[in-house]
Amino acid sequence: MFEQNVYAVDLRGYDCPQLFVQFKWQLKSKCDHACVIRFSYDEDQDINDILKYLASHKIQFSVEAAENNKFIEVRSTHV
């Protein structure tokens, strides 16, 4: 069975512009090492810039919620 290599990045606690800077840096540095990068964030964080970036670069992603955790999952094969 195929196992995905998932890398978790915790963006909770960052505010803009550091939130976006950390997101982009982690995306670029981890894309060669993981099939999926999961970015955790808090509900009160503004992730609109991140979503716009992913959409404008046609990067496959999904926004998910599991229990009290919110996260953006990016498929790094499209980075």
pLDDT on residue 1:
38
Quote the percentage of the chain above a pLDDT of 90.
Answer: 62
Looking at the domain assignment, is residue 40 inside a domain?
Answer: yes
Total of domains in the chain: 1
Q: What is the CATH number of the domain that holds 52?
A: 3.30.1370.110
- Rounded (10°) CA dihedral 12, 18, 20, 21: -120
Tell me the mean pLDDT in the region 56-71. 90
Tell me the mean pLDDT in the region 19-27. 94
Q: Which of 4-8, 18-22, 32-36 has the lowest mean pLDDT?
A: 32-36
Q: Is the pLDDT of residue 79 over 50?
A: no
Alpha helices in the chain (DSSP H): 18-30, 48-56
In terms of pTM, does the model score above 0.75?
A: yes
Q: For residue 39, how many other CB atoms are within 10 A of its CB?
A: 25
Range of the domain at 63: 6-78
